[in-house]
Amino acid sequence: MKRILVVDDDPLVCSAIRVWLEQRGFSVVVADGGETGLNALNGSTFDLMIVDVFMPHMHGFESVRVFHQRAPSVPLIAISGYVFAEQRMPAPDFLSMALELGATRCLRKPFTSKTLLGVIDICLLESEASSLKIVSR
């Protein structure tokens, strides 16, 4: 059974995602912030992480970088509800920034359960494929 870590400061979002994933047979651990999320990583291994990009106490995209550094081989899906309204400089492209910092895929909220599950499937497949490649070398 694949284990997925979900990190988002909104409890409603966490419980919704948990329901969708568990119905599909994933084992889900939920964390409400950067610190609890990292603690969860300390305790066990995961096959995939879903991390909210803008959470309090973590500076914006920091959360992506921090989680990726902690578990570099685990695919990370960055989700974001924030849209950049402040335009003193050109708006950072959410996608490219998150990918640079270590996210495997990005999703903008709101997304449906179908969409999320689809992306999870892709990430898991890719991850398996690359680990197979490594083994076969």
Partner 1 sequence: MMEAKWLRAVMETAVDGVILIDARGRVLMFNTACEKLFQYPASEVIGQNVKMLMPGPYRGEHDRYIDNFNRTGERKIIGIGREVVGQRKDGTTFPMKLSVGEAKQDDGSIFVGIIHDLTERAKIDGELRESNARLKAVVDTAVDGVILIDARGCILEFNPACEKLFKYRAAEVLRQNVKMLMPSSYRVEHDGYIRNFQQTGERKIIGIGREVLGRRKDGSTFPMDLSVGEAKQEGESIFVGIIHDLTERKRTEELLVQAQKMEMVGQLSGGIAHDFNNLLTVIVGNAEFLSENLKSRRDLQQLADDIGRAGDRGAELTQRLLAFGRRQVLRPIEIDCNALLDTMHKLLQRTLRQDIEIKVDFDAELAFVFADAAQLESAVLNLAVNAQDAMPSGGRLTISTANASLDDHYKSLHPEVVPGEYVLIAVTDDGEGMPREVIERAFEPFYTTKEVGKGSGLGLSMVYGFVKQSNGHVAIYSEPGLGTTVRIYLPQTVSKLRLAPKQTQAGAAALSWVLKPCWLSKMTPSSAPIRFQRCKAWATR
Asked if 78 touches partner 1 (CB under 8 A), the answer is: no
Shortest gap between Cβ of 98 and partner 1 (angstroms)? 15
Asked if 23 touches partner 1 (CB under 8 A), the answer is: yes
Q: 92 or 128, CB closer to partner 1?
A: 92
CA distances from 50 to 55, 56, 86, 132, 133 (A): 13, 16, 26, 23, 24
CA distances from 86 to 23, 52, 89, 90 (A): 39, 20, 8, 9
At residue 63, φ and ψ (nearest 5 deg) are: -60, -40
Asked if 110 touches partner 1 (CB under 8 A), the answer is: yes
Asked if 20 touches partner 1 (CB under 8 A), the answer is: yes
Q: Token digits for 11?
A: 């409890």
| Binding residue (CB under 8 A) for partner 1 from 4, 17, 28, 98 | 17
Asked if 38 touches partner 1 (CB under 8 A), the answer is: no
Stretch binding partner 1 (CB under 8 A), from 6-14, 25-33, 98-106, 120-128: 6-14
In angstroms, rounded to a whole number, what is the distance separating the alpha carbons of residues 100 and 64?
A: 10
Size of the site for partner 1 (CB under 8 A): 26
